Amino acid sequence: MARGDLLVALVQSGVGNDELAFRRAAEALIAEENAKKHSVLASQLAEALTRRRNPGSSVSPLTRPRESAGLLHETEPLRRLNELVLPTVVRHAVTDLIEEHHRRDLLRSHGVEPRHRVLLEGPPGSGKTSLAEAIATEVAVPLLTVRYEGLIGSFLGETASRLEALFSAVRIRPCVLFFDEFDAVAKERGDTHETGEIKRVVSSLLLQVDRLPSHVIVVAATNHAELLDRAVWRRMQLRLSLPSASREGKIEWLRAWAARTGVKLGKSERTIADRLRDVSYAELEDFASDVQRRQILDGFDSDPEAVTERLLKSWSHRAKPEAGD
């Protein structure tokens, strides 16, 4: 929605006493000012919206930054989509999502919002966190990662209250809101082993996700998709599966990394991929960084092949998790 449309929507909803529509239009306007770095004006608008709230309304008030402290970790995303090895169907789906947000004004002129709820499932190290960061980079918004140690409380009702504070804090700024290990807070409510408090938290979480405006892209990642509440699947507009690293994928990743960094590996990508056959993409990146780090420390006279061979031997003796860990 263009700025003129936002102002029209704001006035129309205000005249019509449509509190929810008014709030959404105001939040979109505040988010637009935040995106333009007009922080003073955005803060003034947010403060005015907070004061306006009807005490009898079911709509949550805006949360000031200090009230959401400890719930989110903000980072400036740097990873690009073309750096990732992704299945073709996943790459196309994410590219479409990014285009929708780049051309959201065109969509909104037809009364359509860009999609903004994404579920990523796959084994550890398959690139879920990296993909969330890449989406944030390509859309040019900050990456906000939910901190569960600050979110999950030990007292009845505490977690739901913190959830409300978290979502209220992010509603007025364009961002990627990333839930890693989403099954920690979105477990199946039919599980007889879960307490009534956890079920209320899941219900509150899903309600808050529904209310988020489209300038907040929610990316939820899980290694255990089977544990998620069934309602989570219905709410996610994109549901993408990231597989374990294949031999071909590792070769592609190593070639791209070497070309991007200029680091000489000293051995063929095929040889390295074969000797690191059990590692994930995340571990492969750790290995490549180890090679780069060692070459820097050894100086200009270092032998790339010797460095890589030494680290391959070291990695072959790395401790592995015990079964069931």
> Can you give the pLDDT at residue 195?
56
> Can you give the pLDDT at residue 17?
67
Q: What domain range is 172 assigned to? A: 68-241
Summarize pLDDT for 61-111 with one digit per residue, the tens.
444 444 456 889 999 999 999 999 999 999 999 999 999 999 998 998 888
Burial class of residue 265 (count of CB atoms within 10 Å of its CB; 0-12, 13-18, 19+): buried
The answer to whether position 101 is within a domain reads yes
Summarize pLDDT for 12-57 with one digit per residue, the tens.
666 666 666 676 677 777 777 776 766 667 666 666 665 555 444 4
The answer to whether position 323 is within a domain reads no
- 164 vs 258 pLDDT, higher one: 258
Same domain, 213 and 308: no
The answer to whether position 187 is within a domain reads yes
Same domain, 136 and 236: yes
- 257 vs 59 pLDDT, higher one: 257
Same domain, 185 and 256: no
Same domain, 78 and 163: yes
Q: Report the chain's C-alpha Rg in angstroms.
A: 23
The answer to whether position 324 is within a domain reads no
- Boundary residue ending a domain (222, 241, 260): 241
Compute, in degrees rounded to 10, the torsion defined by CA atoms 15, 18, 21, 26: 50
Same domain, 136 and 274: no
Same domain, 156 and 229: yes
Q: Which residues, including other chains, have CB under 8 Å from residue 309's CB and lie 6 or more apart?
A: 266, 267
> Can you give the pLDDT at residue 82?
93
As a whole number of angstroms, the distance between CA 184 and CA 204 comes to: 14
As a whole number of angstroms, the distance between CA 31 and CA 24 comes to: 10
Summarize pLDDT for 135-163 with one digit per residue, the tens.
999 999 999 999 888 777 655 567 778 88
Residue 249 pLDDT > 90, yes or no?
Answer: yes
CA–CA distance from 252 to each of 70, 273, 278 (Å)? 38, 10, 16
CATH code of the domain containing 110: 3.40.50.300
- Boundary residue ending a domain (241, 262, 286): 241
- Boundary residue ending a domain (15, 35, 59): 59
Same domain, 142 and 206: yes
The answer to whether position 136 is within a domain reads yes
Give the number of other CB atoms < 10 A from CB of residue 182.
Answer: 28
Same domain, 103 and 223: yes
> Can you give the pLDDT at residue 60?
44
Same domain, 205 and 289: no
CA count, 13 A, side-chain hemisphere, 65: 6
Same domain, 186 and 101: yes
The answer to whether position 206 is within a domain reads yes
Same domain, 94 and 155: yes
Q: Are strands 117-121 and 238-241 parallel, antiparallel or unpaired?
A: parallel
CA–CA distance from 103 to each of 1, 30, 36, 136, 217 (Å)? 10, 19, 17, 15, 15
Map residue 299 onto helix, strand or coil: coil
Q: Which residues, including other chains, have CB under 8 Å from residue 224's CB and lie 6 or more apart?
A: 183
Under a CB-based contact definition with an 8 Å cutoff, are residues 254 and 265 in contact?
Answer: yes
Distance of CA 170 to the CA centre of its chain: 13
Summarize pLDDT for 287-318 with one digit per residue, the tens.
999 999 999 999 878 899 999 999 999 998 88
Number of separate domains in the chain = 3
CA–CA distance from 190 to each of 49, 148, 197, 220, 229 (Å)? 38, 22, 13, 20, 8
The answer to whether position 321 is within a domain reads no
Type of residue numbered 211: R
The pTM score is 0.78
Q: Which residues, including other chains, have CB under 8 Å from residue 182's CB and lie 6 or more apart?
A: 119, 220, 221, 222, 228, 232
The answer to whether position 322 is within a domain reads no
CA–CA distance from 191 to each of 199, 232, 233 (Å)? 9, 15, 16
Same domain, 139 and 35: no
